Structure 1
Amino acid sequence: MIGEHVLAGYAHDAGGREALDLARAIVALTGGRLTVAHVHPPDRPAAAGEARTLLDQAAAHLDDQPAEYVAHEGRSVGRGLTTLASRIGADLIAVGSPEGGARGRISVGATADHLLHSATEAVMLAPFGYTPPPGLHRITVMYVRRPQADEAVLHAAEAAEKLGVPLRLVTLALGDAPKGPLYDDLALAIRLASDAAKLPPEALTAELAEGDDVADALGAIDWPEGELLVCASSEDAGVHRVFLGEVALKVLRAAPCPVTVLPRGYY
């Protein structure tokens, strides 16, 4: 299950602290390992020392949370996190949103943009102002009928079973798009999830999110505290890489909860 080894990208700002809080919440659920990294530039002599100081601050924020702390050299933070994740065997990279965005929504800065278009591990983003709830309430998968989304359903169903939480499958119905085929797609996704995990019937639901655009559609369905949204990468992604398509990027920006994006061919 994803989250066996979480890499949190830390910077000395609100987004960095929220990435730590999100990563800590995930390892509390999975019982996994946590590594905290600050990526510093290679061409500044004082940068390594500053990175270690920042990691001390991260350790103080996490208090007694067991974790490893790594100062990693890299010319960009996104590339540095991807390289480090591969090196240490992390299966999930957690980052926060830059300051200045809408509270409760994800903003995509330079680091997240790099990860969402080239990471080889799953990427999880925290909304701006994120505070971890007491526990995980439900996992939601954004579903459209294609192999990558089918993989996301299988993975999420297994995670929901292991964590003892419900699973919801959501398909967007934008504008005047015919709804019949979308309901057929959701019925297929329900069968996939049922075959993948032993979830009680009441713990497996599906619904259309209807609206004129993505933000309207997501606003029309409920998002209780403790929700986690899972998205698949685009069919344009390279194998074992994350690549977020245009619609999925709109979903990510409109979602009022943390979002995980899976690499193509995660299984």
Structure 2
Amino acid sequence: MTIIVGVGPRHQSSGALELAAALSKARDESLLVVTVVPPRWSLPSMARVDAEFAAWAAQQAELRLTDAATVLNQLGATEVSYQRVDHRSQAGALLALAQDTSASLIVVGSSEDGRRGHIEFGSTSDGLVHSAELPVGVAPRGYAGPGARFTRVTCAVTGDPSEEATIKAAAEMAAHMKASFRLVTFAVRLDTMYPPEVGLNAEDEVVAAARDQARQAFEEMQASGILPADAEATVGVGRGWRASIESVPWQESELLVLGSKPRGALSRVFLGSAATKIVRHSPVPVILLPA
């Protein structure tokens, strides 16, 4: 199988390459590095300008692939191929190539406008999470890799029975990588959760109930064999999503796995509002699984 990693024609951080190389090693799969160049315009009056732009874009793409090769050589990546694709949409080009090559995963980086160490969707990653029918990996901005290997896979869930397939896939991923496995759910305190007349302890009671409900669900999943017996289970609690996610410990060599919401008859990566918030505040790389 092949992992596709998309790199932009302009200079970007090497986070996507770091993540793709580590996943390639952990999953024993080859890498295909892709950069996408916009096609030439068809207007005759713009022919000269368009030709100059096309030549410049092609040159930048070749430079980016050369830079990618340097990074991957330093990371010790083997079985790597490189390809330039002419396409108006980076996400569209990656999806088409993934279908043609029967790729197992697409990896992209975060927007350079995002907060360092966290994930920020750019136009390419946003397009992928709305259209992809295969898993999508997203690296935080400035990601420097997991080191020797991934040591833990965490799967974020809400406790819904429909998440069983996501949990099994994440657990299998952890077993294949020889990493520990953790299940986490988040109980988020909201500033306007309840009005004062309801009582000052009402919010604490709701959060405590959510925590107890999650732990009961964890125990039931372990008893039924859905969750591995040696899996860790925890609940993150905080005022807002960021505080809730930061309330649980994270390892630098960790992966976060999230499932998506079903959208119509097709299996795609389509995130609900809670999953989107988790991704945006995740301090580790995320793999998004299609519904």
TM-score, normalised with respect to structure 2: 0.81
**RMSD, aligned CA:** 2.0
Match of 1:14 among 12, 15, 23: 12
Contact kept, 8 Å, 2:11 with 2:64, in 1: the verdict is no
Contact kept, 8 Å, 1:6 with 1:35, in 2: the verdict is yes
Write the letter of the residue equivalent to 1:155. Answer: A
Write the letter of the residue equivalent to 2:99. Answer: S
Match of 1:219 among 227, 246, 250: 246
Contact kept, 8 Å, 1:237 with 1:243, in 2: the verdict is no
Q: For residues 97 and 188 of structure 1, do their structure 2 counterparts lie closer, same or farther at Cα, with a shift above 3 Å needed?
A: same
Cα deviation for residue 20 of structure 1 reads 0.9
Counterpart in the other structure of 2:71: 61
Cα deviation for residue 157 of structure 1 reads 1.2
Contact kept, 8 Å, 2:167 with 2:226, in 1: the verdict is no
- Distance across 2 between alignment mates of 1:8 and 1:58: 10
Cα deviation for residue 117 of structure 1 reads 1.0
Write the letter of the residue equivalent to 1:142. Answer: A
Could you give the per-residue CA deviations for residues 202-230 of structure 1, whole angstroms, max 9, x where no partner exists? x4111111122211111110001211000
- Secondary structure at the aligned position of 1:55 is classed as helix
Cα deviation for residue 55 of structure 1 reads 1.5
| Gaps in structure 2 of 5+ consecutive residues | 41-49, 190-202
Q: Within 5 A, what are the aligned runs for 1:1-267?
A: 4-11=1-8, 12-15=10-13, 17-43=14-40, 45-46=54-55, 47-63=57-73, 65=77, 66-134=79-147, 135-146=149-160, 148-175=162-189, 176=203, 177=206, 178-179=209-210, 180-191=212-223, 194-195=225-226, 201=229, 203-236=230-263, 238-264=265-291
Cα deviation for residue 148 of structure 1 reads 4.8
- Greater shift, 213-222 or 231-240, is seen at 231-240
Contact kept, 8 Å, 1:144 with 1:185, in 2: the verdict is no
Number of matched pairs: 255
Could you give the per-residue CA deviations for residues 156-205 of structure 1, whole angstroms, max 9, x where no partner exists? 1112222221110001112333323322322234346x447xx5x4x411
- Distance across 2 between alignment mates of 1:14 and 1:191: 46
- Distance across 2 between alignment mates of 1:183 and 1:236: 29
- Greater shift, 203-212 or 24-33, is seen at 203-212
Cα deviation for residue 238 of structure 1 reads 4.9
Could you give the per-residue CA deviations for residues 23-61 of structure 1, whole angstroms, max 9, x where no partner exists? 001111111110000011112542445433422222122
- Secondary structure at the aligned position of 1:75 is classed as coil
- Secondary structure at the aligned position of 1:37 is classed as strand
Q: Which has the larger radius of gyration?
A: 2
Q: For residues 70 and 220 of structure 1, do their structure 2 counterparts lie closer, same or farther at Cα, with a shift above 3 Å needed?
A: same
Write the letter of the residue equivalent to 2:218. Answer: L
Aligned-residue sequence identity (percent) comes to 33
Contact kept, 8 Å, 2:268 with 2:290, in 1: the verdict is yes
- Distance across 1 between alignment mates of 2:231 and 2:264: 29
Q: For residues 79 and 152 of structure 1, do their structure 2 counterparts lie closer, same or farther at Cα, with a shift above 3 Å needed?
A: same
- Distance across 2 between alignment mates of 1:42 and 1:206: 49
- Distance across 1 between alignment mates of 2:240 and 2:278: 10
Cα deviation for residue 130 of structure 1 reads 0.5
Q: For residues 247 and 238 of structure 1, do their structure 2 counterparts lie closer, same or farther at Cα, with a shift above 3 Å needed?
A: farther
Write the letter of the residue equivalent to 1:131. Answer: A
